[in-house]
Amino acid sequence: MIIKEIHNLSILDSPSIILIREIMEENINLALNMVPLERFRPHVKTNKILEICEILKSKGVNKFKASTISELEMLGIAGAPDVLLAHQPTFVKMERFLKMIHSYPGTKFSCIFDNYENLNYFNELLKSFKITQDIYIDINVGMNRTGVSPSHLITLFEEALKLDNINIIGFHIYDGHIRETDIDERNRIVNEAFQQAYSKIETLEKKYNKKFIIIAGGSPSFSVHAQNPRVECSPGTFIFWDWKYSKILPDLNFKCAVYVISRVISIINSKKICLDVGHKAIASENPFPRIIFLDFPEAKSISQSEEHLVLEIEDTSNVKVGDIFIGIPDHICPTIALHEYLHVVEKGEYLYDWKVMAKNRKINI
C-alpha cells in the first residue's frame, strides 16, 4: 500500500499515529512462521493495545510477556492464559501483582527476580496470602541492566529453593544489546551469550532432574533463538517494526506498520520549515533523525521541542502550511506510549481507532 494514497487521511488531526492493519497482520504471520506456537511468547510492550492482544489470541497465541502492571492487566482483560511480568517487582508492585492474580483468575501470572532479598520479601508476602507463586530467575548475559550473573546463578537458585511459597519454573534471558547487522556475527554473539547461562541451567537440570522453561531474546535475536528448540522467543517490536530495526536488521523481513502524521505549521525561510511533531509525539531519547519522512527522506532535523520539529529541506517553495508529512519513527515502542489512540487503516481507508490501553501506569489495579 502507498501510504499517501489513504484517501481520508486529511480528516485526522496531527500529530497522530496510523496503523496499516494489513502490514501488522503480515508481521504477525511472518513471526508465527518462524517459530512454533508453543515457543512463541510475544512481548506486548510495543503495542499496548487490547485489540491486538485479542488478534494474537485468535491466531492461537497463549503466552505473553509484559513489562508493566498495566500491560499485565490488559492481558488479564484479554483473557490471556499465560503472562510473564518481565520486570522485577518491588514492594508496591508486588501488592498490585497479587491483586492481579485475584482479579483475573483465568490468567496464570508469573514474574522474574534476580535478587534473593527481594525474592525473600515476596515470599513472606505470599505466605500472608497463602499463595505459592511461579517465578523465573532473570539472567544477565551482557545487557548489564538486570539479571543475576551466570556465575552466581546456581547460588541464587539454591537459596530460592528454600523459600516455601516460591516455585522456580524457568529462566529469563534478555540480550537486547546484541544488534549486529551481519547475521552470521549476530548468530555467533547471541549463541555465545546464551551459552553462558545455558551451561549453568544444564547443571541445575541434571542436578534436580527437571527441565526448566527458558524465555530468551527480543526482536533482534528472534531469528537466532527461533532455531533453538529449548527457547521460548519473546519479540515485541516485530508487530509494528520501525526505522532503526529496518536499517540494522535487514535480514528480518518485518515491515513498518505504524506511521506518524504531522503537518507543517510554519515556513521559516527557503530551506526550513516547522512541523507539529515534538517530543510529546515521537520518542526523543535517540539522536536525530527520530523520524524519517516518506516524501522528504533527505530532510535534516535541526531542532525539536515539546510541540515543534524544525526541518531543513532542499526547497520550501512547494510546501505550504497545513501540508501533511508522513514519517516512520526511529523507535516505535516509546512513540506508541505517547499517544492515546492509534488510527487503524484497512484497504486504503481510515476506519476506526484503537485505544492504547496500557500507555497509562494504571488501568484498574
> Can you give the pLDDT at residue 4?
67
Alpha helix (H) ranges present in the chain?
21-34, 50-58, 69-78, 91-103, 116-129, 150-160, 183-208, 222-225, 243-248, 332-336
> Can you give the pLDDT at residue 1?
52
Name the residue among 219, 200, 216 with its Cα closest to residue 208: 200
Cell digits of residue 7: 484517501
Instruction: State the Cα–Cα distance between residues 327 and 364, nearest whole angstrom.
Output: 34
Instruction: Kindly tell me the sign of the dihedral angle through the C-alpha atoms of 21, 39, 168, 156.
Output: negative
Count Cα neighbours of 176 within 13 Å in the Cβ-side half-sphere.
Answer: 12
Task: Answer for the pair 19, 349: CB distance below 8 angstroms, yes or no.
Answer: no
Rounded to whole angstroms, what are the CA distances from 338 to 201, 284, 288? Answer: 39, 11, 18
Domains within the chain, CATH numbers bracketed: 3-16+254-359 (2.40.37.20), 42-233 (3.20.20.10)
- Neighbour order of strands in the sheet with 108-113: 63-66, 82-85, 108-113, 133-140, 166-174, 213-216, 231-233
- Cα dihedral angle (55, 56, 59, 62), rounded to 10 degrees? -130
Residues written for the chain: 365
Instruction: State the Cα–Cα distance between residues 361 and 73, nearest whole angstrom.
Output: 11
Q: Phi/psi zone of residue 79: left (φ > 0), alpha (ψ -120 to 50 degrees), beta?
A: left
Instruction: State the Cα–Cα distance between residues 311 and 323, nearest whole angstrom.
Output: 14
Instruction: State the Cα–Cα distance between residues 283 and 337, nearest whole angstrom.
Output: 9
Q: What global pTM score does this model have?
A: 0.97
**92-105 burial: b if 16+ Cβ within 10 Å, else e:** ebbeebbebbeebe
> Can you give the pLDDT at residue 3?
72
> Can you give the pLDDT at residue 161?
97
State CA 97 to chain mean position distance. Answer: 20
Instruction: State the Cα–Cα distance between residues 113 and 93, nearest whole angstrom.
Output: 13
Residues of the chain with pLDDT under 50: none
Main-chain phi, psi angles of 314, to 5 degrees:
-65, -40
Residues 6+ positions from 168 with CB-CB distance below 8 Å: 134, 135, 136, 137, 157, 160, 161, 212
